[in-house]
Amino acid sequence: MAAQKKITRAEQKALRPIQILDAAFEEFVRSGFTGTRVEDIADRVGVTKGTVYVYFETKEKLFEAMINHFSVPFQELLGITENLSGSATDRLISILGLLYEQIAEDRTTRELTRLVIAEGHRFPDLIDRHHDQFIEPIITKVDALILEGVTSGEFREVPVEFSDIVVAPILTTTVLRLIFDDRRVPTPNKEAFLRTYFDLLLNGLLAKPH
C-alpha cells in the first residue's frame, strides 16, 4: 500500500478552520450551546483552546460560523433546482425528492435543524438570515412551480399557502426522527415514502379532467 502523502504546514493551516467547525458541530449537537466547552472542541481537533480563538473570537461567533458552514448544501440544492427540466410536475417531484434527501435523510441537516430549533432564541438574527438565504429561496421556487402549473392548466387553483402544505410531510418526518430517533419512528423506506407522498400530493394538486 502506498504511503499516504503528508500534508504541508500551509495545507494544515488552511484546513484548520474547517476542522474546528466540524468538531464544533459535533460538540454543539452533543451538549447544546450552553453545555459546549471550547476546550472540548479543541480536544477533538487536537489543538489548544487558544488556537480555536485565533480563528473564532468567541463561542458565539464559532456557533454562527458553524451554522453558516453547514447550511451551504441548501445553496447548492437551490443551484441544482435552477437546471431542472420537464413539466411543472416533473420539476416539483425532483425538487421535493432532493429536499427529502437533504433534510430527512441527511444526518448533518437533521442535527442542524435540531440546533436551529433549540438555540434559535439565542441567535434570532442568525436564524432569520439562515431562513432568508437558504430556506426562503427554495420555498419561493416551489411557489413559482405551482403557479406555473396553475397558469398552464397542469395544476388546479390552490391557496397561496399551499407550498407550506407541500413541504410539511418532509419536515414532519424530520422532526419525528429528531424526537424519537429510531425508537418509535422507524427509518422510513425512501422509495415507499416518496411514492406515497407524491401520490397524495398530486391527487390534490393536478387539474381534474372535465
When pLDDT is averaged across residues 148-161 and rounded to a whole number, the result is 85
Following DSSP, what letter does each residue of the chain receive, concatenated?
-PPPPPPPHHHHHHHHHHHHHHHHHHHHHHHHHHH--HHHHHHHHTS-HHHHHHH-SSHHHHHHHHHHHHHHHHHHHHHHHTT--S-HHHHHHHHHHHHIIIIII-HHHHHHHHHHHHHTTT-HHHHHHHIIIIIHHHHHHHHHHHHHHHHHTSB----TTHHHHHHHHHHHHHHHHHHHTTSSSPPPPHHHHHHHHHHHHHHHHBPPP-
Domain 7-57 carries which CATH code? 1.10.10.60
Position 181 pLDDT exceeds 60: yes
pLDDT in tens, 39-55: 999 999 999 999 999 99
For the full predicted model, state whether its pTM sits above 0.75: yes
The residue extents of the domains of the chain are 7-57, 70-203
At the top level of CATH, the class of 70-203 is mainly alpha
pLDDT in tens, 28-86: 999 999 999 999 999 999 999 999 999 999 999 999 999 989 888 887 888 888 888 99
